[in-house]
Amino acid sequence: MFEFGHTEYLHLLWILPLLLAIFFVSRKITVKRLERYANRTMVKRLAPMRAPAKMWWKMVLVTLALGFIIVAISRPRFGTHLKEVDRQGKELVIALDVSRSMLANDIQPSRLGRAKQAVIKLLDNLKNDRVSLIVFAGKAYTQLPLTSDYPAAKMFISSIDTEMLPQQGTAIGEAIGHGIKSFSPGEEKNKALIIITDGENHEGNALEMAEEAVKKGIRIYTIGMGLPKGGPIPVKGRSNEFHKDRNGNVVITKLNEGMLQQIAAAGEGSYIRANNIRSGLNALFNEIDELEQAEMKSQVYADYNEQFQFAAWIALLLLVLEFFLLDRKNKYLVNLKLFQNDPGHSKKANAQK
């Protein structure tokens, strides 16, 4: 596995094209200033040893050397093998509602957009914990199995939308059942299931499944997306159009706080409303931190082989070349004309004729 130990330094590579642009502009300005006093032919006569092309080569060598220095300090490296390590942490399964009602924008930017922000904020507060991601509408599916790779989890979250599941609805009970199966077997003191939805449950077994989760040592937390007064459901891809019922009336979807509070109570957890998401999430973080941690085995890449030496040596070689590359013509080679006839030799040849 190849990676950079300090990826933040790679942003410095944007400096390189900027340096070349500055050099190009400065050379243009210098040439124009010279042309005010003499044309190009006169400049060549006054400064016969001047070599503008070499100045460009010197700048290119310096720029490349700087690029390899940036790569070197970013610490390129290869992981030679996977090893199993023991960690103290918790297991969290996040069940995210992706039904069309989550497109409602009674909270900004939308219920689903706010939900994704909440999940990312949650991931930013995790350390040594494993997380799984479930998406559900009429059915529930595992989007990401248990992992401690938080960047990968964020990548999956960014790709979630309401069109990824064909069967619409809000099957919270099935999401809980699927979540129970997503935890690793064994330890039953470090598990939490977080359900993010607007609570419009379309089946009646959610409370029973929450009680079943508690029996397996899983605590359930619910985060309600939306407002009790509700809002219309936009038609995706069509501005100012909303879903309507069979009678042609605009469908209003409302946050079902009562259902989510009951599920949280049955799951021995707590309920949070998203319109006060900052303080609510902080309270959730505190409760999750109180969960007893357990020993977990994780596989990580170890024994990284540092490869910055190659970049450093290339940078040094380029700087040495730049040092010995003069910005003027070589006085020993300037009169060397391999492909031109010697005038004296031509005259001698003509005389012999």
| Cβ pair 85, 208 in contact under 8 A | no
Cα separation, 234 vs 251, whole angstroms: 10
Lowest mean pLDDT among 20-24, 70-74, 126-130, 198-202: 198-202
pLDDT band at 59; cut points 50, 70, 90: confident
Contact in structure between 319 and 61 (CB atoms under 8 Å): yes
Does residue 178 contact residue 140 with C-beta atoms inside 8 Å? Answer: yes
pLDDT, one tens digit per residue, over 81-100 is 555 555 567 899 999 999 98
Measured between alpha carbons, how far is 224 from 197 in angstroms, rounded to an integer?
6
> Could you give the percent of the chain with pLDDT greater than 70?
75
CA distance 78 to 84: 18
pLDDT of 56 higher than 50: yes
Instruction: Label residue 14 left, alpha or beta by phi (over 0 means left) and psi (-120 to 50 means alpha).
Output: alpha
pLDDT above 80 (res 337): no
Sign of CA dihedral 99, 104, 105, 106: negative
pLDDT band at residue 339 using 50, 70 and 90 as cut-offs: very low
Q: What is the predicted pLDDT for the residue at 39?
A: 63
Residue 352 carries which side chain, given as an amino acid letter?
A: Q
User: Strand, coil or helix: what is 200?
Assistant: coil
Per-residue model confidence (pLDDT) at position 138:
87
**Are 36 and 290 within 8 A, CB to CB?**
no
24/85 Cα distance (integer angstroms): 53
Where do the domains of the chain lie, and which CATH numbers do they carry? 2-78+306-352 (no CATH), 91-292 (3.40.50.410)
Write out pLDDT tens, residues 167-214.
888 889 999 999 999 998 766 668 999 999 988 776 778 999 999 999
Give CA angle at 273 (261, 137), nearest 5°.
Answer: 75
Contact 49, 334 (CB under 8 A): yes
- Please give the C-alpha separations between residue 65 and each of 3, 15, 174, 265, in angstroms, as whole numbers: 21, 13, 58, 62
How high is the pLDDT of residue 248?
86
Phi, psi of 253 (to 5 degrees): -100, 130
User: Any residues with CB less than 8 A from the CB of 8 and at least 6 apart, and which?
Assistant: none
260-298: pLDDT as tens digits: 999 999 999 999 887 655 556 777 888 887 776 655 555
pLDDT of residue 6 exceeding 70, the answer is yes
